[in-house]
Amino acid sequence: MREIKTVRWDDETDSILLIDQTRLPHSYRSIRCRTVKRLITAIHRLEVRGAPALGVAGAYGVALAALTIHEKDFIRYLDKVTIAAHAIGDARPTAVNLSWGVQRVLSRVYLADSIEEAQALSLTEACTIASEDAAACHAIGKNGAALIGSGSTILTHCNAGALACSEWGTALGIVRSAVQTGKEVRVIACETRPLMQGARLTAWELKRDGIEVTVIPDSAAAHMMRKGEIDCVIVGADRITPDAVFNKVGTYMHAVCAHAHSLPFYVAAPLSTFDPMHTEEEIVIEERDRDEVAFYGSYATVPERVPVRNPAFDATPLTLISSIITESGIIRPPLDWDSIGPIRRII
Amino acid sequence: MREIKTVRWDDETDSILLIDQTRLPHSYRSIRCRTVKRLITAIHRLEVRGAPALGVAGAYGVALAALTIHEKDFIRYLDKVTIAAHAIGDARPTAVNLSWGVQRVLSRVYLADSIEEAQALSLTEACTIASEDAAACHAIGKNGAALIGSGSTILTHCNAGALACSEWGTALGIVRSAVQTGKEVRVIACETRPLMQGARLTAWELKRDGIEVTVIPDSAAAHMMRKGEIDCVIVGADRITPDAVFNKVGTYMHAVCAHAHSLPFYVAAPLSTFDPMHTEEEIVIEERDRDEVAFYGSYATVPERVPVRNPAFDATPLTLISSIITESGIIRPPLDWDSIGPIRRII
């Protein structure tokens, strides 16, 4: 497998390097964020996306704030870091990992007694989060691979791969780990409208690693299930509440159809994706710009003045999910929040 | 409602005029087919598409063959018309209406005793088919409108509108008829990957008629059903066998999800769409070019050398369908082939 480092810290220049996911598969290049403002722009533009990657990016973002804010008074410094941290955490509302990463680093800043200590603690914590995310993905991969029979065809939606994490991936981490243990697996990647993360990113990642992948329109998934061409579904998650999994819009539809065809429907996510503090109805589903659906480059597919709905995510009730695969093991709904290990509380 | 004549015969020049559906919504213009070859190209390119429209186009195509083939010997003339008719009928495999329209006109040609009579009979029959299709759409509209409550939000997929028929539409004919009788209805149009007939054509038609329409990615339909934002689904059909409805890929997914949400799922189609002679497993689902999915204009969304599956249609078992709305009335599965009126036999 060829290494992909989606989000990393550059010690020499104190900046964050992100693989620009809007340019793939055409060009594979990095963006350097030297300021919090640039990082927030990158999050808005989806140059970095994917729940675990957003957690790592948010964590590095607070470290970046701690290192770049010019303020000598420690109390005013803490205020400014806090404001910057909240701005990063609010850049996208649905994936819980972003605010989780931000809060985790911010809580270290508050433990410091000086600006220098705050800078050191925040960067150390952000690096720890990145390492833990990589380790979590490998553990998810190992745990999930045990569920996958050799010869399986796995349907996935959007990109829950190395590009959605610090490396390896969650759903695609399971695919990679299965391949690594000698299993033959092939992946059906739903293209994932409107921004084509399945076609552009999942197909690119898997092709690069020599794993067999075929792209289909999202609407062909149920047809392929009915034809017996899918053995299971594995997706990532942006937030898991005690009643629902939030993930890229279309996940719910695949879950309903998998259930109708008695196919296992697996969610692969690190514990940082769990949100025990909220229920589905409290979570805002981000509604993104009309133009993402209505245009392709400069080409309009929707007539002028016709409205568009563009929810970025949907919620799948846990009753439709066979298992959630975490770094701590495999859990089955109904979720017992006390038994699934150290669920990190955000607040 | 503003008239749309999707397929029509031009008496002055003995040619077929088609609204070019590949140019909408950017330009609304016609293509003139003076030869059978050009008509077949138009069918391949989807300049004309939609099952009932293909039936009318196929019918006019045989008349065009009868009028343009230069052959004085009557037997050789009949052979050449037959060869041309089969070429038209084979241009696309899934929609039964195309071969139905072709066969119906061809059977009139065989009744003739001279070339002149064959020309006259074929053109008369093709014009009759076009008139009957228009009348059927209006009757489907009227029959279906009775099922739609005022205030309803109707989900539709692809385009089963005036642009898919000679005029008025099947699924959208029901919407139009409901509006005409004073009901308030709004339409959620699934954009319909890969060729965006929902975004481009359905939205264009309805906007033009002042009917409220919102476009969504196909993958958001189930999410909206779950949120209670859809009251029923109405789609068209390309072929109805005794066990399944063939329609644009994605129809099956919507049917599974509508069933899971206890929403009515209606199919609107003229009797020319019924195929009592075959079962699902005998029908070829057209697999179209990779590039329809992998490219948007010159922009590649799928990495090079990654394969794509692009089935144009899927099959929905009748068990998932609440009613089929025809010009002869509303029928509910299980279909009783003897009781639904004069089903025209193709062969």
**Residue B57 near residue B50, CB atoms below 8 Å:** no
Query: What residue of A is the nearest CA neighbor of B218?
Result: A219
pLDDT value for A337? 63
Query: What residue of B is the nearest CA neighbor of A301?
Result: B200
> Is 60 exceeded by the pLDDT of residue B347?
no
Q: How far is B207 from chain A (nearest CA, A)?
A: 7
pLDDT, tens digit (0-9, with 9 covering 90-100), for B3-23: 889 999 999 999 999 999 999
Q: How far is B121 from chain A (nearest CA, A)?
A: 41
**Residue B126 near residue B79, CB atoms below 8 Å:** no
Per the CB < 8 Å rule, is B305 touching A224? Answer: no
Query: A257 contacts in B (CB within 8 Å)?
Result: 253, 256-257
pLDDT value for B340? 56
pLDDT value for B337? 63
Nearest CB among B25, B217, B297 relative to A293 is that of B217
Assigned token pair, B301 = 């969304």
Q: In the predicted model, what is the mean pLDDT of residues A282-301?
A: 93
The H or E element spanning position A58 is helix A51-68
Per the CB < 8 Å rule, is B256 touching A252? Answer: no
Residues of A annotated as part of the active site: 238
> Is 70 exceeded by the pLDDT of residue A156?
yes
Reported confidence tier of residue B280, pLDDT bands at 50, 70, 90? very high
Nearest CB among A204, A306, A314 relative to B203 is that of A306
Rg (CA), chain B: 20
Query: A25 contacts in B (CB within 8 Å)?
Result: 300, 302-304
Query: What burial class does residue A238 get, using C-beta atoms within 10 Å of its C-beta: 0-12 exposed, 13-18 middle, 19+ buried?
Result: buried
Reported confidence tier of residue A301, pLDDT bands at 50, 70, 90? very high
Dihedral (Cα; A256, A257, A261, A263), 10-degree rounding: -70
Reported confidence tier of residue A345, pLDDT bands at 50, 70, 90? very low
User: Which of A153, A193, A223 to probe by mutation at the B interface, max B CB count within 10 Å?
Assistant: A223
Q: How far is A295 from chain B (nearest CA, A)?
A: 10
Reported confidence tier of residue B216, pLDDT bands at 50, 70, 90? very high
pLDDT value for B343? 47
Query: A305 contacts in B (CB within 8 Å)?
Result: 207
Given phi > 0 = left and psi -120 to 50 = alpha, else beta, which region is A262? left
Most distant CA atoms of chain B, gap in Å? 67
Query: A256 contacts in B (CB within 8 Å)?
Result: 222, 256-257, 260
Looking at 3.40.50.300, 1.20.1560.10, 1.10.8.420, 1.20.120.420, the CATH number of the domain B7-137 comes to 1.20.120.420
Beta strands in A125-278 (DSSP E): 152-157, 185-190, 213-216, 232-235, 239-240, 244-248, 265-268
ipTM, 2 dp: 0.94
DSSP summary character for residue B201: I
DSSP summary character for residue A209: T
Residues of B annotated as part of the active site: 238
Q: In the predicted model, what is the mean pLDDT of residues A64-74?
A: 96
Q: In the predicted model, what is the mean pLDDT of residues B180-200?
A: 97
Assigned token pair, B138 = 């209006």
**Residue A190 near residue A216, CB atoms below 8 Å:** yes
Assigned token pair, A187 = 């992946």
pLDDT value for A171? 98
CA distance A279 to B137: 47
Query: What residue of B is the nearest CA neighbor of A251?
Result: B219
In the three-class reduction of DSSP (H, G, I as helix; E, B as strand; rest coil), residue B163 is classed as helix
Q: What one-character-per-residue DSSP string does A12-25 give?
A: TTTEEEEE-TTTTT
> Is 70 exceeded by the pLDDT of residue A303?
yes
Number of Cβ within 10 Å of residue B22's Cβ equals 15
Query: A307 contacts in B (CB within 8 Å)?
Result: 213-215
**Residue B13 near residue B33, CB atoms below 8 Å:** no
Per the CB < 8 Å rule, is A252 touching B194? Answer: no
Query: A220 contacts in B (CB within 8 Å)?
Result: 249-250, 309-311, 314
B146 Cβ neighbours under 8 A, 6+ residues apart: none
Place of tokens 């790592």: A56
Nearest CB among B260, B297, B304 relative to A297 is that of B297
Q: In the predicted model, what is the mean pLDDT of residues B96-106?
A: 95
pLDDT value for A336? 66
- Sheet of A213-216: strands edge to edge? A213-216, A185-190, A152-157, A232-235, A265-268, A323-326, A329-331
Reported confidence tier of residue B332, pLDDT bands at 50, 70, 90? confident
The pTM (predicted TM-score) of the whole model is 0.94
CA distance A341 to A266: 19
DSSP summary character for residue A198: I
Query: A304 contacts in B (CB within 8 Å)?
Result: 25
CA distance B82 to B76: 10
Reported confidence tier of residue B339, pLDDT bands at 50, 70, 90? low
pLDDT value for B148? 97
CA B340 to chain centre: 20
> Is 50 exceeded by the pLDDT of residue A166?
yes
Q: How far is A306 from chain B (nearest CA, A)?
A: 6
Q: In the predicted model, what is the mean pLDDT of residues A167-196?
A: 97
| Mean pLDDT taken over chain B | 94
Assigned token pair, A283 = 């979570």
Assigned token pair, A195 = 């921004």
Per the CB < 8 Å rule, is A25 touching B226? Answer: no
Query: What burial class does residue A265 get, using C-beta atoms within 10 Å of its C-beta: 0-12 exposed, 13-18 middle, 19+ buried?
Result: buried
Closest CA to B47 of B9, B8, B21: B21
**Residue A130 near residue A7, CB atoms below 8 Å:** yes
pLDDT value for B95? 82
Distance between start and end Cα atoms, chain A: 37
Number of A/B CB contacts below 8 angstroms equals 179
CA distance B89 to B102: 6
Domain ranges of chain B: 7-137, 147-340
Distance between start and end Cα atoms, chain B: 37
Per the CB < 8 Å rule, is B311 touching A223? Answer: yes
Looking at 1.20.960.40, 3.20.20.300, 3.40.50.10470, 3.40.50.970, the CATH number of the domain A147-340 comes to 3.40.50.10470
> Is 90 exceeded by the pLDDT of residue B117?
yes
> Is 70 exceeded by the pLDDT of residue A344?
no
Nearest CB among A196, A299, A309 relative to B301 is that of A196
